[in-house]
Structure 1
């Protein structure tokens, strides 16, 4: 019998106190949650440049990973683009492991203990998410309902549901997969102390003070200050961004580590919000109607990352009658990706837009959360919507080649580095959104094979077709806490994979 980890036991104990009726479902979901997280971890072990792995040897039916200390880890061949939980257990020498947290502990690698605790929390929280999610099979009408169908979180990150600092009550109250309504508040701040970008609405002003929307968890656990109740809202898949009834989306600061990152809002992000939104709107007009970028209506901060908010246009603004705007991450909850023709059309649309903007000088971070697809009444992908410009990359040199005046911005968004630009787009779109929608290397290869002949030629497409596919080394990053910024790995190109299996 599996011995529960501390995280599993703690969540069970809390659940017994706040919602005991979910306990049986939670217990039933734990084995599947372990397999889901273990599959993500095995992908990382098989494909990321982890310094304590010295070799990878494929066999007829399995993959062997050699550790620097002489031990060997055995598991199935690792499809870097698979999303199904196909890894039930792996073997470290003769010891079988079906729990990702205990496997990481047994590996005994630097910083592995802290990561093991995150993995344990990811498993337990994922089981809780699956136990509490109960969404109808019918396609929803509201934008927030699509978001709440995404139960499993990041499709490739082992910390797909890690929410340290969130109690069970917090997860049930704020996690979108549980379908809650959240009472957003506001905190008054003297206008003279605020940094504002764009137009801050009159309803969020009071005399010489600006009313900054605040998430209730942030107000209680970080700000430790009272707040006034403002509006009831529905959390979207990022948890800290919420949809107001019939209105814009509100991105709040949430200083908790979710998946990998602390979700605050920097003063830099607020400062660049309005000029970046204006620039992106002009750029989207160059895609012949294939892409819309949601406008940032206003942004404000008290100049600390812990109290800030952005008001952003809802993607639903770009849906015609009968159309639906669906986050790409939610496509896996529909039957659409099961059709090779549909997947090929979707791949062609996304790469046409992504490569066009990259050629102009902008690399979108087009993962399944930021990228949305507009579906016709028949389910055909007709155009795209992109939201959240906080992590795009802009190349002044590429813009200048096309006679486009670069925005008057500096800082981390600006780079002319070809590798950085291609990593940003291909790592998020191909290794992220398209891979997760396809669900496997062979399916992704088929979609790319059908789409590539119809894409605009150029050096970026050549790089995509002929080289490995960049992807963030998510596990390496969690095991390298002293290394700032993104770290990367190179995945086998699905266009040259014969059976969707890696033989690194």
Structure 2
């Protein structure tokens, strides 16, 4: 047992001794799950001093060889063991440390946290009690299907994970922080119920109250006022009494990003919602945007702070079963080809239409929700969390649409940027994980499912105007390589801020003319 695993076990014995045996039993599987994600990254990311020489072999600059099972980049399976210079390794952090990659100390720590927290997630997860959106949200136990830091939660104790993380199905009681209204940045109509005279009442996550507010010299006006259920993103919660979902600041690193809310995001949220809602209607109306209704940020030392912020998002409400794509399970789907065909038709029609108009969505399994009809097939998609879209001012202008007042970081006319944002998330993560889930390692079945997606893409492109933008998008989606986020590279010391990227073999490319 690694040091951090032991620390988790010791704390669990104090706060939830009934889970201790389940935690210990979950450790080997958690190690294998993270090791599988690490193996994917070692095979397919541009890492220093490593050269992949095939889908099952990596050569180190010092002559050592790392070997394991053949792995396509979209595979989901766990890897119990990899071999470095003939020696077996079963823990991802131990393996990465042994590789000796320059600048990888932070990443080794990430992997330790990811394993320990995943074991805790698996130990504490309970069966789905119902069929609400929140029930499905909380059924996702292992996190991001391809990110080695899928359960990296430094700064969040065992007791806090049990109290706040969605897979443990808690109810979280949010606090209210009273701030001078005149000093707050407010976008959209802030609810009257969250105003007290000349003070704005900002919903605050209790973790934020405990760990961040004291250093800012602040304390809540009221504690435990809003009872809510956490959704997949942890810091977005659905109040038990209904009303807008609350996206709160939770200023620590989870997966690989700090989960605060920048003042820029607060400024952008309503204009972005308006733009995407307008464009979605132009694409046929089968995509619904979960709009931000309002946002607010308070001041620290005279500047609006990402630590004191909250955004209100309209709840997901569609007839039938609604769930994030990441929560889809094999047992829900009686006919994978039919289900995937219906989903791909919606996803590609909607997202390619938006791309042609000028917006690239980050359409991965957490941001994209699917509504299922009585036949179990997708009939509508819902897109949420708008802060990472990319907008092309030139494309909007060509369609007579004014660019909204949003942060410059969201704006790009570079087709490579737009294509990587959309196709890296949609084809690289969403379609890949669904095909791995449905195909279960049967390569012939998986190839047939890729053809289902490709056929939907060909039909979606055929329905769009034959413009240079659309032709370029078709070439990118059906190209030999697909640009996706490089999760390991992004956490190496010296990595540039923002996303890092790598090119993966594109399994849609072989089906472009079928």
The verdict on a shared fold, with TM-score over 0.5 as the criterion, is: yes
Q: 1:470 aligns with which of 458, 468, 483?
A: 483
Residue in 2 aligned with 1:369?
Answer: 366
Whether 1:22 and 2:19 are equivalent positions in the alignment is yes
Q: 1:259 aligns with which of 255, 266, 272?
A: 255
Give me the whole-angstrom Cα distance separating, in 2, the residues matched to 1:184 and 1:338: 42
Give me the whole-angstrom Cα distance separating, in 1, the residues matched to 2:278 and 2:82: 51
- Correspondences of 1:27-426 after superposition (within 5 Å): 27-53=24-50, 55-58=51-54, 63-85=56-78, 87-136=79-128, 140-224=130-214, 225-227=218-220, 228-229=222-223, 230-245=225-240, 246-302=242-298, 303-316=304-317, 319-320=318-319, 323-332=320-329, 334-336=331-333, 339-426=336-423
Give me the whole-angstrom Cα distance separating, in 1, the residues matched to 2:34 and 2:420: 25
Q: Alignment partner of 2:376: what SS? A: coil
Question: What is the aligned-residue RMSD (CA, Å)?
Answer: 1.7
Give me the whole-angstrom Cα distance separating, in 1, the residues matched to 2:330 and 2:387: 27
Q: 1:434 aligns with which of 426, 431, 434?
A: 431
Any conservation in 2 of the 1:72–1:93 contact (CA below 8 Å)? yes
Give the number of equivalent residue pairs: 484
Q: Alignment partner of 1:456: what SS? A: helix
Any conservation in 2 of the 1:150–1:329 contact (CA below 8 Å)? yes
Give me the whole-angstrom Cα distance separating, in 2, the residues matched to 1:376 and 1:481: 48
Residue in 2 aligned with 1:502?
Answer: none
Any conservation in 2 of the 1:337–1:343 contact (CA below 8 Å)? no
CA shift, 1:332, in A, is 2.9
Whether 1:5 and 2:18 are equivalent positions in the alignment is no
CA shift, 1:449, in A, is 3.4
CA shift, 1:56, in A, is 2.2
Residue in 2 aligned with 1:451?
Answer: 456
Q: Where has structure 1 moved over 4 Å in runs of 4 or more? A: none
Query: Mind listing any 5+ residue stretches in structure 1 that lack a counterpart?
Result: 499-504
Give me the whole-angstrom Cα distance separating, in 2, the residues matched to 1:40 and 1:164: 19
Any conservation in 2 of the 1:122–1:160 contact (CA below 8 Å)? yes
Q: Which has the higher contact order (CA 8 A, sep 6+)?
A: 1
Give me the whole-angstrom Cα distance separating, in 2, the residues matched to 1:63 and 1:380: 36
CA shift, 1:168, in A, is 0.5
CA shift, 1:334, in A, is 4.4
CA shift, 1:462, in A, is 2.6
Give me the whole-angstrom Cα distance separating, in 1, the residues matched to 2:293 and 2:458: 39
Residue in 2 aligned with 1:501?
Answer: none
CA shift, 1:278, in A, is 1.5
Q: TM-score, normalised by structure 2?
A: 0.91
CA shift, 1:481, in A, is 4.3
Query: Mind listing any 5+ residue stretches in structure 2 that lack a counterpart?
Result: 299-303, 463-469
Per-residue deviation, residues 207-247 of structure 1 (Å, max 9, x unmatched): 10100110000010011242213210000010000001222
Any conservation in 2 of the 1:337–1:437 contact (CA below 8 Å)? no
